[in-house]
Structure 1
Amino acid sequence: MTRFISFLTNRYSCHACSDEKRQERLQQLLLRVHTIVEEADGRYITNSGMLVQLKMLADAMYRGYWAMGAFNHGSLKETLMADEEEEEVRSSLFRLKRSRIIHGSARKHKARHLMEFHGALESLEIAVANITEFVVILSGCDRMVRRPYDTYLYIDNFVFGRHSEKQMILSFLLQESPATAAPAVLPIIGGLAVGKKTLVAHVSSIMRLNETDFYTIADRGSAMSGKGRILIVVEIDSDVDEKDWTTFYSYVASMDGRSKVIILSRLKKMEKFGTVNPIFLNVLTYEEFSYLFKALAFGSANPGEHPQLVQIADRFARELQSRWSILAANLFADVMRTNLNVHFWLSILGRCRRLVDRNLSMFGEHPKLRLEKGLPIDVTDMVLRPASPLQFIWNSSNNVPAKELPQVTFTELLVDLKPKMQATVVRFESRIPPYTTFDHILSRYAQDTPQLGAERRIVP
């Protein structure tokens, strides 16, 4: 018996030691890859093969960060986070059964985290094994001029994690064209609030900082006349007639053939107006989205000191990445950063889920889809102790000018505010260029009003 116990002890010690070495190896690889990705983000890359490799490096890096966090916190008692999703059983008759469910759930989570950890480590090993040529070529790429504030943006706002897409836009803008040539057109296609305007604004700031002789419409004013190349960014929300596009394009060509046009749209059909291959901005991967959300939600706080909050943030990121957008991640992260408390974060997560469930029940579609269509959504569950049902509606659909209504922030609405007015503007302003402002009208309504009641149906 003594030998058997000794055998088990030694086997467990070796296993723990092996896991410790793997963690150390993963940390070393993450530091190395993160350094290379950040260095690449500050240089001009025109080689298409390098852009593909840069995307692979970034994907492996975010996957590694997520796996490291999940593995570090997976063995703690915060598996309670997953157990809270199990059915509440209060009767003593079912306590034994509930205990079995909890332990079974914990084992499943541990096995999944271990599998993710090994997969992430393998991906980074493969990425680093083929990185020598990338680093050598990268060292020959020109550096961008960067301001100290850009470093803060890189750390705090990972919407700029789209490294390869940024380089594609830069390559498009830097490509020289004869003055007599037709203006080049780059379509950027992506869903609602995936960061199209933010990405272009970031690239434009780099171009200005590096003294590129491109003017934007804002630089030149509304006249758009005179000499010099012009960068025109066109946002298209609906279908465009071929004749109208031809008229617009001819006008741009008459100014300077070296000018460039960037189309921003949610419509895939807009790629037909491009003269180069379009850039498709897809939803961030879960690992990258989780990294971004935690960076925003924790702010300057150390996530390692709040293991339970890390677990909640991962679950929240899963909810937002699959069903919402980066804008929603920013909104909820701003709220959660005000109070690093487990019960508070769980409350916000619960309200977000109830919001989705209520709108699915009432209208048969996700609230994000309704917002994309400009339709009102029910937000009663988001407010603490609402006196009556509440809805968000687009500013354009309300007859009262937004500037004449009282304004609150999204954080104030969720944390401690009970709207007293019949209508209020809920405002969110992006913290990074182009500092887009999003306004919604918050108003009370009767549940049986034709505006909402006519669309209501129960989802089977």
Structure 2
Amino acid sequence: METELVVDFLLLRARADHAPERRLDVLPIVGPRKVGKSTLVAHACRDERVRGRFSQILFLRDRGGFTGHDDLAKFREGCETEHLQSLVPGSNDRDGGRFLLVLELAGDLDEDSWGGFYSACTRHLPSGSKIIVTSQSDTIMKFGTTTTTQALRVKFLSHEAYWYFFKTLAFGSTDPKTRPRLARLAMEVAEMTHPCLIGATMFARLLRDSSSDIRVWYKVLRFLREQRKENASRFGGHPFDLVNQRRPAYIGRMASPSEYAVFYDEQQCSSQEGVPEISAHDVMFGRVKAHGKFKVLGWRSHIPPYLSYVGTCEIQELKTTSLKRKRPCRCIED
């Protein structure tokens, strides 16, 4: 539904009363980090009707705090830039070719900064161009310019919708009602990972790949309970919230229970940037040996805009007297 609202905004022709002021239509999209704002916009921009309407689609990702310039070229120098579409044959190129400019903000936005940026856009972008701006801050909602398309607020999935997503990944075409014990465990695992879609994908697939071995499902649930307990004790929060707030988070190691890892400062990377070979999955479920702090791939999206999330990790020994002697442990194969 949200995708169609964005597409409708992009296909809507500018009103005649915009012409004297050279106004550009703006659609604000607000939502918490990792809720899917970038994915929503990317899907809308890949609609053939949208690609046929705009000759250029440009993503600008602010990384260091938005500063509005009255010179658009100077503003672009401070942003990570990605062209989704550039002068595609057959696109509408009247008025010099319409632009779709997608601005992804890392922080808050004041009226002066926005005013400088918007003024530059109205001077330099062709008539009929449009702007989408995404942010975690409600501040941007007042910068919308259309009455037909309201500013969008994107929310995390409800528990019911999240469970549907999780069980589809964990059980596939099998009806969970035919496996009530596994279904009950899966619901508890989903409760532990909600609202994180990355967590749902990672742990649902782990359950699915275990060949319905209920011992593994219990082990995964115990592992997640321990994760939540340790994060609350050590860092004062739910692991998903801690990572989202770029605070340190505890990561247990299922294959090496005498160790744990601390995950720091996750950053979003574009598809053009290189990513570490070691993943968070390797740290949690594999036998990665590393000293000091090292970069890990938290997650790589397989859907547009193909973003990756990279953080810093440090493996540490548990300081308990019961772990002085080595003892064998059962582990799940990768």
TM-score when normalising by structure 1: 0.53
Q: Given the alignment of the two structures, is residue 256 of structure 1 paired with residue 114 of structure 2, yes or no?
A: no
Q: Given the alignment of the two structures, is residue 233 of structure 1 paired with residue 106 of structure 2, yes or no?
A: no
Q: Given the alignment of the two structures, is residue 440 of structure 1 paired with residue 306 of structure 2, yes or no?
A: no
Q: Given the alignment of the two structures, is residue 316 of structure 1 paired with residue 189 of structure 2, yes or no?
A: yes
The question of whether the paired residues in 1 share the 8 Å contact of 2:297 and 2:311 is answered with: yes
Structure 1 residues 270 and 213 mapped into 2: Cα distance closer, same or farther (>3 Å)? closer
Amino acid at match of 2:290: M
Gaps of 5+ in 2: 59-82, 88-94, 268-272, 320-334
Q: Given the alignment of the two structures, is residue 274 of structure 1 paired with residue 144 of structure 2, yes or no?
A: yes
Q: Given the alignment of the two structures, is residue 190 of structure 1 paired with residue 31 of structure 2, yes or no?
A: yes
Which residue number in structure 2 is paired with residue 425 of structure 1? 296
Which residue number in structure 2 is paired with residue 409 of structure 1? 279
Q: Distance in 1 between matches of 2:110 and 2:50?
A: 36
Q: Distance in 2 between matches of 1:404 and 1:172?
A: 35
- Tell me the alpha carbon deviations over residues 276-332 of structure 1, each in whole angstroms, 9 at most, x when there is no partner: 4211112212221111111222346664654433322222223333xx322322232
Q: How far 1:441 moved relative to its partner? A: 2.3
Higher helix proportion (structure 1 or 2): 1
Which residue number in structure 2 is paired with residue 203 of structure 1? 44
Q: How far 1:387 moved relative to its partner? A: 4.2
Q: Distance in 1 between matches of 2:216 and 2:100?
A: 46
Q: C-alpha root-mean-square deviation of aligned residues, in Å?
A: 2.9
Matches within 5 A, 1:319-338: 319-321=192-194, 324-338=195-209
- Tell me the alpha carbon deviations over residues 186-209 of structure 1, each in whole angstroms, 9 at most, x when there is no partner: 111111211111111111111457
Structure 1 residues 278 and 291 mapped into 2: Cα distance closer, same or farther (>3 Å)? same
Range that drifts further, 171-180 or 246-255: 171-180
The secondary structure found in structure 2 opposite 1:408 is coil
Q: How far 1:446 moved relative to its partner? A: 7.1
Amino acid at match of 1:359: N
Gaps of 5+ in 1: 1-162, 397-401, 449-460
Amino acid at match of 1:434: P
Q: Distance in 2 between matches of 1:236 and 1:330?
A: 26
The secondary structure found in structure 1 opposite 2:102 is strand
Amino acid at match of 1:231: L
TM-score when normalising by structure 2: 0.72
The secondary structure found in structure 2 opposite 1:211 is helix
The question of whether the paired residues in 2 share the 8 Å contact of 1:208 and 1:214 is answered with: no
Which residue number in structure 1 is paired with residue 243 of structure 2? 371
The structure having more radius of gyration, on CA atoms, is: 1
Q: How far 1:424 moved relative to its partner? A: 4.8
Q: How far 1:392 moved relative to its partner? A: 0.8
| Sequence identity percentage | 28
